[in-house]
């Protein structure tokens, strides 16, 4: 409850009424216990009336902001939580509500929620005043169940310290050194796909499973300094647990939504089979990560200190001596999950967009075959894999356009931890703000009339024939897939480099089309964008033209 002068006056009025008018009658009836019950009930009614009607519509300093249409009493725009794709309702609001950076919408019990729509508003929240905002407690509690107290959940000084210690692992020079790893795993990925095609007469595969395998293998090498080998072992325990957690289902969507309105401890004691599955899968993942940490520490202990040059994330964290074993496990859970899911999702959606845009696929394959030598030759020492891939304009245009149209995290939220301002508007402490990459990345006000079309050319400078990083938009804040500022994705360069390698190898090796051209792909997922039911492709191997 917001203790404003109006609020206190209302409570004083209620107490006066009870004291002078109701109190004598209650005592006359000799029912003291009834009095306290009625008094408490009346206070509750006053509280609810103030919270639901008086404050949001007559007192809130945000009430004059442009509002989204279609308001539903009490539950507000809570229906957005159930609509798919997540972020699409916000896009409709941006298109339909004229605004100067902020749209006011109402959540449960008319709570204020602000949708940020312009680069100026986004810059305030993500960069200029980033430490005035944090992830909402209910979101952190939900993430903590799966990731522990990792970088994604940490806030404030702890987040700054952890990010500073881990950042060297994502330095651009280190990413360039990892390109041969990305490429060799991309070729292994293509070989695994070919083997599966040889065993399946229909030549139809669910590509999401393979993309999860290869990205887990890559983050295993970069994060742990070890090859998990899931591409060689399709029944890998790590893969099974992550796929079970991240598989988009209505039940999991409901599970996430309930965490927004019901205390996590209450959900955890419900007789719900999903609770037990979550406990089991997260327990398995923590056990596996504990084994990884113990194995790594033992290996480093037996190494000569002067030769400890490994630059994987886990080695860097261990050498810093800033993390307990328990926190090392939490950080590892975070990087294994976030590190593979971003690129796995992007590769899956890339295969969908290229399958439904055969002209783009053909042009990309032509550039790949003209720019890259035979994949086996490219794997030899001496080839500048990073330079070759980064200089391919159409490949980079396709990657950027995939990341724009299908951001891994479609909606993110922040809550103000102190009174502040956003785009010149006063925002009181405790206000929820929505940062919506799905909507911003597709907003025609920022991207033009073709904002929702797949147009890789928008990322290419026509005069220079080189890839650009703005896609023709006037601001960097028009592209939010990796966010911006101190809370931006620490692994952005890693994910972009990984996607370049995987997509170049995959498109160069296979012609793809949808297994069912009439299938309507539904975007699902609770936190990440995943195709419900997977992504089934019909693949035809092609000869690498050199």
Whose structure tokens read 């950027």?
400
pLDDT tier at 377, thresholds 50, 70, 90: low
What distance in Å separates the CA atoms of residue 64 and residue 338, rounded to the nearest whole number?
A: 39
- Greater confidence, 267 or 481? 481
Q: What is the pLDDT of residues 418-432, one digit of tens each?
A: 999 999 999 999 999
Query: Looking at residue 35, what is its pLDDT?
Result: 64
Cis peptide before 543 (omega within 30 of 0): no
The yes-or-no verdict on residue 457 having pLDDT over 80 is yes
Query: Looking at residue 448, what is its pLDDT?
Result: 95
What distance in Å separates the CA atoms of residue 386 and residue 207, rounded to the nearest whole number?
A: 25
The share of the chain scoring above pLDDT 90, in percent, equals: 42
Tell me which range, 71-85, 148-162, 329-343, 406-420, is most confidently predicted by mean pLDDT: 406-420
The DSSP output letter for 322 is -
What distance in Å separates the CA atoms of residue 400 and residue 379, rounded to the nearest whole number?
A: 25
Query: Looking at residue 141, what is its pLDDT?
Result: 84
The yes-or-no verdict on residue 195 having pLDDT over 70 is yes
Which one, of 523, 332, 515, lies nearest residue 410 by Cα?
523
Assigned fold of 148-408+481-541 = Cytochrome p450 (1.10.630)
What distance in Å separates the CA atoms of residue 359 and residue 282, rounded to the nearest whole number?
A: 43
Which one, of 239, 496, 164, 138, lies nearest residue 342 by Cα?
496
The yes-or-no verdict on residue 294 having pLDDT over 50 is yes
Distances in Å between the Cα of 193 and the Cα atoms of 211, 323, 378, 405 are: 10, 39, 20, 26
Q: What is the pLDDT of residues 131-163, one digit of tens each?
A: 999 999 888 888 888 888 888 888 888 889 889
What distance in Å separates the CA atoms of residue 109 and residue 76, rounded to the nearest whole number?
A: 7
Assigned token pair, 84: 């798919």
The yes-or-no verdict on residue 436 having pLDDT over 80 is yes
489 is in an annotated binding site: yes
The yes-or-no verdict on residue 10 having pLDDT over 50 is no
Where in the chain is CATH 1.10.630.10? 148-408+481-541
Q: What three-state secondary structure class fits 441? A: coil
Cα within 13 Å of Cα(498), Cβ side: 30
The yes-or-no verdict on residue 43 having pLDDT over 70 is yes
What distance in Å separates the CA atoms of residue 57 and residue 427, rounded to the nearest whole number?
A: 16
pTM score > 0.75 for this model? Answer: yes
Residues near 414 by beta carbon (within 8 Å), at least 6 away in sequence: 125, 133, 134, 135, 136, 432, 433, 435
What distance in Å separates the CA atoms of residue 338 and residue 342, rounded to the nearest whole number?
A: 6
Query: Looking at residue 391, what is its pLDDT?
Result: 92
The yes-or-no verdict on residue 478 having pLDDT over 90 is yes
Whose structure tokens read 């794709």?
85
């Amino acid at each position: 409850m917001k203790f404003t002068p109006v609020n206190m006056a209302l409570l004083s009025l209620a107490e006066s009424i009870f004291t002078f008018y109701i109190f004598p009658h209650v005592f006359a009836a000799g029912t003291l216990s009834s009095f306290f019950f009625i008094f408490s009930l009346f206070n509750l009614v006053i509280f609810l009336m103030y919270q639901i009607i008086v404050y949001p519509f007559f007192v809130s300093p945000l009430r004059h902001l442009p509002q989204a249409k279609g308001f539903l009493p009490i539950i507000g725009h809570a229906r957005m939580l159930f609509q798919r794709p997540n972020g699409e309702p916000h896009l409709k609001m941006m298109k339909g509500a004229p605004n100067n950076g902020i749209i006011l919408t109402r959540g449960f019990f008319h709570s204020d929620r602000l949708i940020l729509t312009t680069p100026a508003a986004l810059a305030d929240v993500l960069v200029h005043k980033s430490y005035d905002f944090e992830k909402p407690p209910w979101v952190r509690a939900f993430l903590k169940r799966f990731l522990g107290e990792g970088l994604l959940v940490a806030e404030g000084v702890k987040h700054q310290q952890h990010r500073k210690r881990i950042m060297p692992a994502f330095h651009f020079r280190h990413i360039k050194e990892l390109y041969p790893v990305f490429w060799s795993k991309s070729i292994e990925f293509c070989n695994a796909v070919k083997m599966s095609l040889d065993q399946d007469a229909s030549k139809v595969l669910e590509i999401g499973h393979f993309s999860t395998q290869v990205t887990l293998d890559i983050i295993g090498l970069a994060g742990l300094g070890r090859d998990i080998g899931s591409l060689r072992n399709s029944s890998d325990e790590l893969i099974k647990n992550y796929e079970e957690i991240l598989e988009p289902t209505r039940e999991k969507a409901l599970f996430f939504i309930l965490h927004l309105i019901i205390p996590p401890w209450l959900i955890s004691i419900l007789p719900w089979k999903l609770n037990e599955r979550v406990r089991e899968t997260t327990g398995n993942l923590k056990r596996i990560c504990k084994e990884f940490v113990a194995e790594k520490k033992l290996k480093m202990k037996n190494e000569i200190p002067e030769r400890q040059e490994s630059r994987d994330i886990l080695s860097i964290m261990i050498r810093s001596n800033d993390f307990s074993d328990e926190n090392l496990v939490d950080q590892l859970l975070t990087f294994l999950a976030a590190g593979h899911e971003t690129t796995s999702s992007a590769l899956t959606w890339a295969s969908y967009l290229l399958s439904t845009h055969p002209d783009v696929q053909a042009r990309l394959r032509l550039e790949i075959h003209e720019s890259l030598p035979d994949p086996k030759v490219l794997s030899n020492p001496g080839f500048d894999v990073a330079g070759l891939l980064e200089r391919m304009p159409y490949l980079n245009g396709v990657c950027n356009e995939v990341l724009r149209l299908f951001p891994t995290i479609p909606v993110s939220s922040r809550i103000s931890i102190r009174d502040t301002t956003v785009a010149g508007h006063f925002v009181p402490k405790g206000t929820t703000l929505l940062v919506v990459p799905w909507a911003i990345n597709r907003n025609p006000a920022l991207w033009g009339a073709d904002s929702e079309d797949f147009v890789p050319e928008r990322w290419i400078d026509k005069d220079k024939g080189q890839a650009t990083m703005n896609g023709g938009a006037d601001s960097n804040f028009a592209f939010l897939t990796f966010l911006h500022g101190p809370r931006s994705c620490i692994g952005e360069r890693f994910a972009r480099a990984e996607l370049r390698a995987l997509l170049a190898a995959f498109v160069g090796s296979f012609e793809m089309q949808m297994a069912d051209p009439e299938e309507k792909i539904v975007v699902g997922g609770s936190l990440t964008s995943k195709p419900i039911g997977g992504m089934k492709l019909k693949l035809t191997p092609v000869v690498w033209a050199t």
